[in-house]
Amino acid sequence: MTTDNSVRVSVLGLGAMGTALADTLVKAGCATTVWNRSPGKADGLVARGADVAATAGDAVRAGRSVIACLLDHASVHEVLDPLTGELAGRTLVNVTTTSPAQSRELAAWAADAGVAYLDGGIMAVPHMIGRPGASVLYSGSADAFDEHKPLLELWGTSTYFGEDAGLASLCDLALLASMYVMFAGFMHGAAMVAPAGVTASVFAAHAAPWLTAMTGEFQGYAAVIDGEDYSVEGQQSLAFSDLDDLLAASADQGISSEVVDMVQRLIQRQIDAGHGEQGFARIIESIRQPG
């Protein structure tokens, strides 16, 4: 997708992700101004057609839409608090990683300053930006999302979650939670087979198709959770899901069982409460009600 040069966008922050976002805009023909706290990072973008601003204020004044891709919540305020007057009447798209509470605070701050605010959670690594598979979750101003959707779609599939500015961040972090626990499980498996001479590369060749196939179970688990009926026929029971054998094998291999211990505790709490014959999805109740 390309856009015309009348679309003026400013990107604040040229880390790996900010650079990827700005580069995609430049390639699409957007008039793009970039700023970074430390100089030099804009050289490649300038060579491809971007303008570089000497100050954050100059960058904000150059664009009707301002993209913030900074270090953290505090850095957003540090850079933008002195520029509230300059930002008034503009749209701020904040894709800095923040908590839901921080995103809501920034939305309130922006509203007080007369700034249309859109919060984004990027579900991609920098090299994926602008390519199939990249997606960005948004929440905040519906008008800002609708107006800027052609631009936002340059980076990846755009999904809008509603006016609550914290929802995109919440969903972003929830998806990251799923990812990190999956990666930890893979690494536990790789550690288990290593003493037997199986390399991580060989293990990965088996783990990738297996885990990909297992993601097909998500919708089934989701239906059970949403229906709140863990006794539905066909589910694997909690009693059958006991991980004692897995824990014993891990101990025999001389590795930590911390990753698996966590899952076993979630299972055991439901069994101890008398739900051992119900489905594995019931462990969400252990998560919802910490012991």
Average pLDDT over residues 64-88: 97
Residue 174 clears pLDDT 80, i.e. is over it: yes
Per-residue pLDDT band at 2 (split at 50, 70, 90): very low
Residue 290 clears pLDDT 90, i.e. is over it: no
pLDDT tens figures, 191-231: 999 999 999 999 999 999 999 999 999 999 999 999 999 99
Residue 125 clears pLDDT 90, i.e. is over it: yes
| Domains of the chain from N-terminus onward | 8-164 (3.40.50.720), 199-288 (1.10.1040.10)
pLDDT tens figures, 144-160: 999 999 999 999 999 99
The 3-state DSSP class for residue 155 equals coil
CA 142 to CA 62: how far, in whole Å? 24
pLDDT score of 1: 39
pLDDT score of 4: 47
pLDDT score of 6: 59
CA 124 to CA 69: how far, in whole Å? 14
Cα end-to-end distance, the chain, whole Å = 50
Per-residue pLDDT band at 260 (split at 50, 70, 90): very high
| Mean pLDDT score across all residues of the chain | 95
How are the residues of the chain apportioned to helix, strand and coil, as percentages rounded to the nearest 5?
55, 15, 30
Residue 52 clears pLDDT 90, i.e. is over it: yes
pLDDT score of 233: 82
Average pLDDT over residues 66-81: 98
Per-residue pLDDT band at 7 (split at 50, 70, 90): confident
Residue 181 clears pLDDT 70, i.e. is over it: yes
pLDDT score of 234: 84
Is 106 within 8 Å of 94 (Cβ atoms)?
yes
Residue 253 clears pLDDT 80, i.e. is over it: yes
The CB density around residue 89, as the number of other CB atoms within 10 Å, is 11
